[in-house]
Amino acid sequence: MTTTIRIDNDLKKECDLIFEDLGLSMSAAMTLFLKQVVKTRGIPFELKAHVPNKETRKTLDAIISGKEKLNGPFDSPQEMMKELTRV
């Protein structure tokens, strides 16, 4: 059986190079992916939206708009977070 899928040309070229290094064809790589979908009963990798929560978004908007300023540089991530929660 043959199935046709549409893939952006640039993405396909990049993937072909990687698959070639791994000794795989596009067809073999897709078969591996689809077998993992069946085995895991879902997408076989984590999908995340990198969207800040409401409070973080409000703080970032205030900083970007110039209503608030951060008093950096900071010596540690903890110091920066402390300053961010002040805003």
Distance CA 67, CA 69 (A): 7
Q: Contact at 8 Å (CB) between 72 and 61?
A: no
Condensed to tens digits (0 to 9), the pLDDT of residues 24-82 reads 999 999 999 999 999 999 999 988 877 778 887 887 788 888 887 777 788 888 888 78
Domains parsed from the chain with CATH numbers: 1-46 (1.10.1220.10), 54-86 (no CATH)
Distance CA 35, CA 56 (A): 39
Nearest to 57 by CA among 83, 80, 78, 87: 87
pTM over 0.85: no
